Amino acid sequence: MKVIPAREAKLRFGRLIDLARAEPVVVEKHGRPVVVVLAVEEFEKLTGDNISPSQMESDG
């Protein structure tokens, strides 16, 4: 499992997505793990939920 600082995750979000599609990525803030980013397929396996584009919410 990869671990990256929050600052790197923010500055290189595209890379974070690429990494997370291959394996879960732990994002750390001030040296502490705060979130895990993982591929939709892995999330679906873990939860049994299916994610579709219609379930996505807009931030704006």
How many structural domains is the chain composed of? 1
pLDDT given at position 52: 86
Q: Is residue 56 part of a domain?
A: no
Residue-range definition of the domain harbouring residue 26: 2-50
Residue 57 lies in a domain: no
* The two structure tokens encoding residue 33: 């793990």
Does the pLDDT of residue 59 top 60, yes or no? no
Q: Give the residue, 60 or 55, on which the prediction is more confident.
A: 55
Dihedral through CA 48, CA 50, CA 51, CA 55, nearest 10? Answer: -110
55 within some domain? no
The answer, as to whether pTM is greater than 0.85, is no
* CATH number of residue 31's parent domain: 3.40.1620.10
Phi (first) and psi of residue 6, to 5 degrees:
-55, -40
The Cα-based distances of 15 to 3, 4, 10, 51, 52 in angstroms read: 13, 11, 10, 22, 23
Per-residue pLDDT tens over the stretch 25-58: 999 999 999 999 999 999 999 999 998 887 666 5
